[in-house]
Structure 1
Amino acid sequence: MQHEIPIATSGPNADSMSEAVNTCIRCGFCLSACPTYDVLQRESDTPRGRIILMKEVLEGSMPAEQAAPHLDACLGCLACEPACPSGVSYRHLLSPYRALVHDRVRTAWPQRLRRWLAAQTLPYSGRFRLAAKLGIMTRSLAKLVPSSLRPMLELLPSELPSRSTLQPSYPALGESVGRVALLAGCAQQVLAPQINDATIAVLTHIGLEVIVPPKQGCCGSLAWHVGDGKRASAFARHNIAAFLAREQTFDAIVTNAAGCGSGMQEYEMILRGTDIETKAAEFASLVHDVSLVVAEHADRLRLRRPPSLRDGESMLRVAYHDACHLANAQGVRLQPRELLCRIPGVELVDVSESHLCCGSAGTYNIDQPEVASELGRRKAKAVLATGAPVVVSGNIGCLTQLQTHLQQSTSAGHPVPRVMHTMEFLRECLDD
């Protein structure tokens, strides 16, 4: 007989957590879809095994610290959800569980330090820019940096792009077909501000006015995914107030980072049981990935052949990498591919084992550097096997991970594939 999770210990998400646990029939279909099981080959590091561990902790038969190493090793990539024949909603269990046990589990000081540094820098573009500059300057002295912090340095580019400031609004070009708000992001605006520039260019090209609410902040996804529910709630409340101000109405709230989008779509879960749960649900319903929004108006796109095509070449091979929080969390797989296939002269190819995460997953690179690096190497090898000179994806974390491991995996004398956001590639091919 199945046991229900005690509601008293499970908080406002008790019902959905209990349903996720009790829907799992332990069939094992999730094993082949789980990246960490593929690397670690331990039953306790499968979705099935982790569900059992969470159930035992929540029922009081296992201390949270005993289960912590296996729950911390979970990417949260949600590849298990489309593989599950029973329809287990793993997303409604993992993050709420992590939030519940967040203050009950003592972690080793290196992990506490990494998480504290990430929490104090990544969500704040000004702080992150300063920290990234310091990191780049000290990378040559990596041997003097504690080993626990070196993974953070390895992910930084050789130099930062110039600071870019977004305007509060951008008018639609030609006939207006709607009005959207854009989440600017935190680390992305520091590491790759051209992604937002390209996004705005594509959206205005198809006739959408773009508003960038000036008081917006971090989406809170990084905090939510590591179980810092208090910080995630504060970020969520802040953005709801910034985007849903009385004088503002939008057809959609657009994101161009898969992790941010999936986190914002979980605002109702993050704020369940609070005074603004209904408003959080309203906000979440408006959040859409930019590829969905552009696909709705795809007939308005005027596209030309990629400028990187050389004379005499008829096709440019482009590899598409599925960001987990776009494909699995948001269910967006076809639209980016359909947009890319509209471009004349593009041969779109998929990356093998596309269901396996690249190893980025928010702060996973920082928390679990060994597993993240192994997954990054595998993904780079799969990309190189396509022979494509360009690889495209829809998430800043994936793009950073791909860039890092492609540079490490490409043989000397061979060109490193160009890593681009979907909107960057589309912008290059706009026929203005």
Structure 2
Amino acid sequence: MCARCFELDRRALLAGGGVLAASLATGTAQARVRPADMVPLIGPGFKPTDRDEMGLWQQMQRVEEEVAGSNLLIKDPALNRYLQDLIGQVGGPAAKDMRIYVARIPDFNAVMFPTGFTVIFSGLLLRMRNEAQLAGVIAHESGHFLRRHMIRMWRDMKRKSDLFAIGAMVAGVAGAGAGVNTGDITQLAQLGTILSLFKYNRVMEAEADAMGARLLAENGYPALEMANTWEQLIGEMNRSAKYRRKRRDRGYSLFATHPAPESRMADLRVSAAEVTVPGRTYDNRRAQYLAAIHDIRPMLLDDQIKLNDPGASQYVVEMLARDGWNGLLRFHEAEVWRLRNRPGDDLRAAQGYAVAVAFPDAPAEAWRWHGVALLKQGRTNEGRAALSRYLAVKPQAPDAPFIRQMIVAGR
């Protein structure tokens, strides 16, 4: 795993890498597209025959080779099988030709490239409350592919731009892809910046939303979860902006390009009603999703907390807890306050750790910080006991020698 993924300044990263979500995050529909009107323009085994599209595919195939070898990817076989199965369900008639990769970058981003491969950022996985929400994002991206939006934008750009500049841009895409192989996150950001030139217009975004809703419902998922995802993102945007005392939509990742995300959310609610068949049972498959990300969820939360955006992090934890609190969420709630370190936050964090360890699934680190907090309060015996519990749960912890010294010193 690349430690720099969360050590880099978030704003610097998102200035480039954030636009990698252009297909999901740019524009809102001025006139809603009906899901019933959306039909795929390609089928299984599609290969381009026009010269310009063949050239674009060759460049994108080179990019995929480099992305596939990047040390930024989360190479968890079980997780990747799960995601591949999911895109196979909601990818439409060309689903068998689609591939999916997860990059360990703690932001909400996803993009499908014109050859049918998708890159998802790990921060997106954290924010999904169930499988239906993730399937909705993937179905939306698949909609762009099935409606051939990328080549349509490419041709439109060629009509409006200097051919030399376009050639340089294509070379830049391949070069950025090559940079990904070095693990340099700034190169991935460069790739996102270049791809932002392909930003889909509002009609294309509306088409992808409508296609996504249709694909979701046809595969037994509640299409309303696409609108719920937007509601959650809007809530996070508002909380982050309030904490930073900034106006919404300015200087904040993917939301900076949204003129009116509420309108898009409203359109998705209408589309969900249209594709929902009365009497049919729909399943958000929450349990299956939590099982799929179980092993990496602590890492996802830890990466989010270390972004130094307490407003967003607090919202994300509270949003996930709408389905029920547990020790993992309570611990990371306390971590928000410990790392923020404003007056009174140490007490608030100490209370959070105490609550976290009352849950059977509390991570070992909760016992560590609970013990430290107790020692600071002069509750020596309780603090030593908590630290001993930490060592019992995680005997090979890197800080184990230091913790043992703390226990001895507290006698």
Superposition TM-score tier, normalisation by shorter sequence: under 0.3
Query: Whose RCO is larger (CA < 8 A, sep 6+)?
Result: 2
Which is richer in strand?
A: 1
Larger gyration radius, structure 1 or structure 2:
2
